[in-house]
Amino acid sequence: MPTAFQYDLPRTKNAYEFEYMVVDYFKKQGAYAQCYGRKGQNQHGIDIIAKFTDSNEGSKYVAIQCKNYSPSEKELDQIIDRSITGIGTFPFSICRIVIALGVKRDTKIQNYIMGKEIPGITLYLLFWEDISSVIASNDDLMSRYYPQIPNNTSFINNLINYFNKGIQECHIINIMRNDPLAGMPSNYALDMDIFCIETEERLNDDILLQKNIIYQKIREFCNWIDYYNHYLSLRMQPAGSGYYSVVPGNSYEQMRNEIADIKTQINECYMAINSGCSIF
């Protein structure tokens, strides 16, 4: 079964929705998390409080400030100062201040924050990639924030099923197990063409899955099948009775080694798509 993966999810433009996304991010990390206060109240520079409970070390509290944009260095200083002032009003100690940003990872911001030191408190940055990867890895969060995108696990399973159906209908297993040096049925070339065309069409339909490793391996599998088909087309010719044979002048030994290498690549992709299974 496919593991967690990351969509290239569109960033929310709603600051309040972004806060709820961050709350859910921390809940998925095992914390008790909730928004701090409500709109109109003095939040002391804190948007979210997360509580982590450890059987050995007890409870640890994290204060989170959310910004659904890329703040300047001056704004970062203000965020940090307000957060430090805010946590001083709490009846419990804060071990970490997290600045959650609704933007992609930025080395300039990272370098600036890493240069800051607050005695007894760790500063931590959370970027959109971190948040969106957790959302994309959990079906309940995908349904909550991106209902227009189909359930990720079932979508990948459907893609795998489509792939395996194509493998069967286009006789790809038989093609891979066939030794073309001993002759190859003429329909195999067309079967490989059909498989690649139809699978590529499905991949294009499922383009939102492009960052998923299964999706990538299926595309890589198609590329190798297409390459193998082209490779054979340059070295084989009709031999009658519905078969192809090697064109005279080609080195059988060289072809055997090259075909073995190509089939190895194809099989590695297949095993990544269908865990624990091999073509051979």
Q: Are residues 82 and 39 in the same domain?
A: yes
pLDDT means over runs of 10, the chain (280 residues): 53 94 96 85 81 83 93 90 84 89 93 87 92 88 82 82 98 97 94 98 86 90 98 91 88 95 98 93
Give domain status of residue 215, yes or no: yes
Residue 4 confidence (pLDDT): 42
Q: Are residues 188 and 107 in the same domain?
A: no
Residue 170 confidence (pLDDT): 98
- The CA–CA distances, whole Å, from 262 to 23, 62, 111, 209, 228 equal 48, 52, 45, 26, 7
Number of domains in the chain: 2
Residue 2 confidence (pLDDT): 37
Q: Are residues 95 and 197 in the same domain?
A: no
Residue 265 confidence (pLDDT): 98
CB atoms within 10 A of CB 100: 25
Helix (H) or strand (E) holding 18: helix 15-28
Cα–Cα distance between 259 and 181 in angstroms, integer? 10
Q: Which of 145, 179, 199 is the last residue of a domain?
A: 145
Spatial neighbors of 275 by CB under 8 A, at least 6 apart, are 1
Residue 33 confidence (pLDDT): 95
Q: Which of 127, 145, 163 is the last residue of a domain?
A: 145
